[in-house]
Structure 1
Amino acid sequence: MKKFILFIALLLPILTIAQGKNDPAAKTILDGVSNKFKTYTTVDATFSYKVENAAGKALSNKSGAIKLKGTKYRVSFNGQEIFCDGKTVWNYDKGANEVTISKVESGSGTITPQKLFTNFYDKDFLYILTGEKKVAGKTIQEIEMTPTDKSKPFHKVYVQVDKAAKTIYSTKVLENAGNRYTYTVSTMKTNKTIADAEFVFNKSKYPGVEEVDLR
């Protein structure tokens, strides 16, 4: 659960970006990403997660998977599984064989994986398109984001967008302490059939699991 919270917390900066003296070209790209995502009925994606120190030395390399359907989601990441059917959230810790159950929090400030792909440029950040480059045959557009709130634990966020697909390719967060966190989308399938049962924790599949019900 802690690793998933870190994953969400580090990506949260891209949820809200400041209006004002921002780059119109960057805004056009971000609008395209948001509008494209809103056309998907489902998303089934995998991603890699890399942590580096200030010198660029790799400290950790991990991978994860995410499924989205409307307000439902399921995330598997570093020994954690998060299930949400739109009303209830189950946070399963494989190492402890424990699941924490809670209600979905209401309100616009609630963080969900869906918000990591859309609605991420309303306020709190200044942004600019820094250029394009070729990565594995793809044209990648990079947008540099700087927080207006200097008390944030990071000073830069770099969002890379696949120009042709209009999807987020990767996100890099530069922490004030020096570490760099990079999340790269490895695969993404959209509009495929995903059963609602995929988003519900099935206790029978986890023998001996301990439940902590916070509802």
Structure 2
Amino acid sequence: MKKTTIKMQKFLQIIILFLLPFTFQAQDSKNAKELLDQVAAKVRSYDNITLDFKYSYTSPKDNINQESRGDVTLKDSQYYLNFMGITRISDGKKVYTINPEDEEISISRLDENSSSEFTPSKILTFFSSGYKYSWDIPQNVKGRKIQYIKLLPLSNKDSRKEILLGIDVQTKHIYNMIETSKNGARKTFTINSFKTNQPLSKNQFTFTESKYPNYYINKLD
């Protein structure tokens, strides 16, 4: 009877050791999801958001190393974006892409449900679905505690291998996003300035065609 009890105890210990990693993993995923939910809720609580950001792209395979800065003002599905010499304005219905170098303006219908549609607000809430979450490393950035969450796309068709999302623990704002593709390319988006509820002009997201008299207008749809 005593030997049977000892064997049972050893068996239970083995079972516990086997299940322990899964328990930590479940808690790890839960903590990551809770923090991401807090970030999304914080973003949605603002009337508008203005960001100044840095963007970099590296691809060892193609010997590419690019870096650029930009800024964007967001309000719901409306936005005003300046990036890499291009200005994009969304009034919530149409997207106007202004290219000064080519003196061309492309006008297209805004489709927020399209996965290919670039909407700056998606940068702040894209993680809400379609990913497996896990708790990653914390970092101290100029006195700010940045907690990283690792996101793994659930779709096998996704060209991205993983995404690291750095979150300011105190403000619950996104600090940066590091996206690594399966081909080794890496995109890094770092927010240098995060302002909220700024006074905006009533024409902030209005495209005025008369400002571009010599531009070619390309209506895509």
Q: What is the TM-score of this pair, normalised by structure 2?
A: 0.80
Larger Rg: 2
The corresponding residue for 2:142 is 136
The corresponding residue for 1:114 is 121
Please, which of 169, 173, 177 is the counterpart of residue 167 of structure 1? Answer: 173
**Structure 2: 5+ residue runs without aligned partners?**
1-25
The corresponding residue for 1:94 is 100
Distance, in Å, in 2 between the alignment partners of 1:133 and 1:65 is 25
The corresponding residue for 2:111 is 105
Distance, in Å, in 1 between the alignment partners of 2:168 and 2:112 is 32
The corresponding residue for 1:202 is 208
**Is residue 112–residue 119 contact of structure 2 (8 Å, CA) maintained in 1?**
no
RMSD: 2.3
Superposition deviation, residue 118 in structure 1: 2.2
User: In the alignment, residue 160 of structure 1 is paired with which amino acid?
Assistant: G
Distance, in Å, in 1 between the alignment partners of 2:161 and 2:139 is 23
Q: Which runs of 4+ in 1 moved over 6 A?
A: none
Distance, in Å, in 1 between the alignment partners of 2:174 and 2:58 is 21
Please, which of 30, 37, 44 is the counterpart of residue 31 of structure 1? Answer: 37
- Aligned residue for 2:218, secondary structure, equals strand
User: In the alignment, residue 121 of structure 2 is paired with which amino acid?
Assistant: Q
The corresponding residue for 2:84 is 78
Distance, in Å, in 1 between the alignment partners of 2:40 and 2:144 is 19
Distance, in Å, in 2 between the alignment partners of 1:119 and 1:106 is 12
Equivalent positions of 1:172-187 (< 5 A) are 172-187=178-193
Percent sequence identity over aligned pairs? 27
Distance, in Å, in 2 between the alignment partners of 1:112 and 1:62 is 18
Distance, in Å, in 1 between the alignment partners of 2:112 and 2:175 is 29
The corresponding residue for 1:40 is 46
Superposition deviation, residue 206 in structure 1: 2.9
Superposition deviation, residue 121 in structure 1: 2.1
Superposition deviation, residue 111 in structure 1: 5.0
The corresponding residue for 1:156 is 162
Do the aligned partners of residues 210 and 108 (structure 1) sit closer, same or farther apart at CA in structure 2, a change above 3 Å counting?
closer
For residues 50-84 of structure 1, the C-alpha deviation after alignment (integer angstroms, 9 at most, x for no partner) is 123459x9811101111111221111110111101
Deviates more, 1:104-113 or 1:70-79: 104-113
**Is residue 91–residue 101 contact of structure 1 (8 Å, CA) maintained in 2?**
yes
The corresponding residue for 1:18 is none
Superposition deviation, residue 128 in structure 1: 0.4
**Structure 1: 5+ residue runs without aligned partners?**
1-20
Distance, in Å, in 2 between the alignment partners of 1:106 and 1:62 is 25
Superposition deviation, residue 28 in structure 1: 1.1
Deviates more, 1:147-156 or 1:39-48: 147-156
- Structure with higher helix content: 2
Distance, in Å, in 2 between the alignment partners of 1:115 and 1:69 is 12
Distance, in Å, in 1 between the alignment partners of 2:50 and 2:181 is 29
The corresponding residue for 2:70 is 64
